[in-house]
Amino acid sequence: MPELDRLKLLSKVDGAVLEAFCATYAEFVLSVRRGEPLKAAMIGQMRFYAGELGLTPAARARIATQLAGDSFEMVGFGQGFASMSSPTKELERRVLGGELNHGKSPVLR
């Protein structure tokens, strides 16, 4: 979370929700790996936390409406094949061409 803090994308309250989301997600992954049935309460918690963090279409629409009301120009961008194909091809071209400067980030090596 240091990077999200640096970018001022999370408040202390958001950090607590993110921590709870991560803990619930870890429990979800373990249940799936063990072949256990998923609990409705766990799925409900995941949906709640996802909404609080703006990770659902409804939450993103609510945020976009608020930002538009504050005079920010909103540009929609889908996350399906039609929207992502061209940018993904361009990213691949740049990666393979050695055109990206990742500042020696160990994550992006």
State the residue for tokens 């709640």: 48
Q: What is the pLDDT along the chain (109 residues), one digit of tens a residue?
A: 566 667 666 777 777 888 888 999 999 999 999 999 988 999 999 999 988 888 888 888 888 888 888 888 888 777 788 888 998 899 889 888 888 777 777 766 6
Give the predicted TM-score (pTM) of the model: 0.53
Give yes or no: residues 6 and 49 share one domain: yes
Please indicate, yes or no, whether residues 41 and 85 belong to a single structural domain of this protein.
no
Q: What is the extent of the structural domain holding 11? A: 2-74
- 56 within 8 A of 47, measured Cβ to Cβ: yes
Which SS3 state, helix, strand or coil, does residue 109 take?
coil
51 and 87 share one domain? no
Task: Say yes or no: 95 and 68 in one domain.
Answer: no
Asked if 66 and 87 sit in the same domain, the reply is no
- Give yes or no: residues 44 and 68 share one domain: yes
Give the pLDDT score at 5: 67
| pLDDT value, residue 100 | 79
Total structural domains within the chain = 2
Q: Is 51 in the same domain as 94?
A: no
